[in-house]
Chains A and B, each alone.
Chain A
Amino acid sequence: MQIMPFYSTKFEKKEKFLIFFTEELSFIYFIYYDDEFTISYIDAINNEDDLLASTLLVKQQLPFIFSIYSDSNNNTVKLTILDFFNNDTILVKSLDLPNEPMLNIDMASYLENDEFKIIIVYSKNVMPQNASGLFAIIIEMSESFEINTTIISEYPFDFGDYPSVKLVQLALGNLMILEVCFSFNHTYYDLIKNFRSILMVYVNAG
């Protein structure tokens, strides 16, 4: 069993926490416990599709789960939003991604000025250098979950793999994004093949 805790939060009125886990990336487990870590609620969602990434957003002390699923039957990627307490799926939207396999994916969400902001970052191979590129999807939707803006990057904004993305509101009032990655395959042959490029960098720098 792969346990991967990736969120915890505190509800102001109930003074309780919510955390959730994934098992083999096909389940989301919810554990709801009080300040003394007494578990009062546990539930799980099993989806026939493959869960790629998920994030939790609290609006007026109500938790919503934003998830990205891969539908292997028709080769699409779907965004779903779940009302946690009502166990009700609010939105299912297919994302019009290029028909290329993703390597890894992460997502983050934020509520600002009555608008949900979602950032999805994923990696895939980019030719011709067999490098791994990072691509992003930005979705902005109203408080009633009507999508206002969808931006799907056609070109990599960076190179690397295993993205980890966070959206945080700093004390100074600016919304910040953090993205962390590490780079992918690079062989000795690549080093030799790109020797001319390395040389050009040093020559120009000098």
Chain B
Amino acid sequence: MMMNNNEFGKCNFANDEDHYALLNIQHLMNSIWGTYEDFKARLLQKKVINGCDQSIMHAKFNNGRKPKATVFSYGNKTQALIANEYVSYDDLPLVTRLLCGGNQMNLENPLNSTENVVIQSFSLTNSKIFSHLKY
């Protein structure tokens, strides 16, 4: 989570083993977007990908469990459709509530079971981080 806020001066913490546990927040879901070549380069550099990366987007998008992603193009936009199990606020550990807050939920149609599936979609390639790519 600490790596996800790009306005935080914390980039150097990402590769410090003392802070690994801070990056491991229960029920926090993240997405990483970038080119195949950039991802391959990070593996060879043996670096942890974080929110300060110059060419790979790294973001928290919600709290939940077991996300499964599908990617498709709609018009000029690339959309990611994520299905995941819902976790109620009561089931979130204290550390998750402290650092990440509660879940998005529809109050008019609350989900009663933690096993219910939540489907959410978002557009990913509008980020400035991808402006270096040649269209």
Task: Report yes or no: B78 in contact with A176, Cβ–Cβ below 8 A.
Answer: yes
In the complex, A138→B41 CA distance in Å? 11
In the complex, A126→B133 CA distance in Å? 34
**Other-chain residue from A172, A179, A186 in contact with B21 (beta carbon distance below 8 A):** A186
B117 at the interface (CB under 8 A from A): no
Residue count of chain A within 8 Å CB distance of chain B: 55
**Other-chain residue from A6, A162, A176, A194 in contact with B33 (beta carbon distance below 8 A):** A176
Residues of chain B from 36 to 71 with CB closer than 8 A to chain A in the complex: 36-37, 39-40, 42-44, 46-49, 58, 63-71
Q: Which chain A residues lie closer than 8 Å to B111 at the CB level?
A: none
**Other-chain residue from A155, A162, A175, A184 in contact with B46 (beta carbon distance below 8 A):** A155
Task: Report yes or no: A151 in contact with B24, Cβ–Cβ below 8 A.
Answer: no
Q: Which chain A residues lie closer than 8 Å to B9 at the CB level?
A: 204-205
Q: Which chain B residues lie closer than 8 Å to A130 at the CB level?
A: 21
Please name the residue on chain A nearest to B19 by beta carbon: A197
Residues 73-108 of B, flagged 1 when their CB comes within 8 A of A and 0 if not, give: 100101010101000000001111010000000000
Task: Report yes or no: B36 in contact with A176, Cβ–Cβ below 8 A.
Answer: yes
A-B contact pairs, 16 of them (CB 8 A): A119-B39, A129-B17, A131-B23, A136-B43, A157-B43, A160-B24, A162-B66, A164-B69, A167-B36, A173-B134, A178-B80, A186-B26, A186-B93, A188-B94, A198-B22, A201-B10
Q: Which residues of B contact A (CB under 8 A)?
A: 2, 8-10, 13, 17-37, 39-40, 42-44, 46-49, 58, 63-71, 73, 76, 78, 80, 82, 84, 93-96, 98, 124-125, 133-135
Using A166-B69, A175-B36, A191-B94 as known contacts, list a sample of 12 further A-B pairs with CB atoms less than 8 Å apart, ordered by residue number in A.
Answer: A131-B24, A154-B46, A158-B30, A158-B49, A159-B20, A175-B35, A176-B33, A183-B23, A185-B26, A198-B22, A201-B2, A205-B8
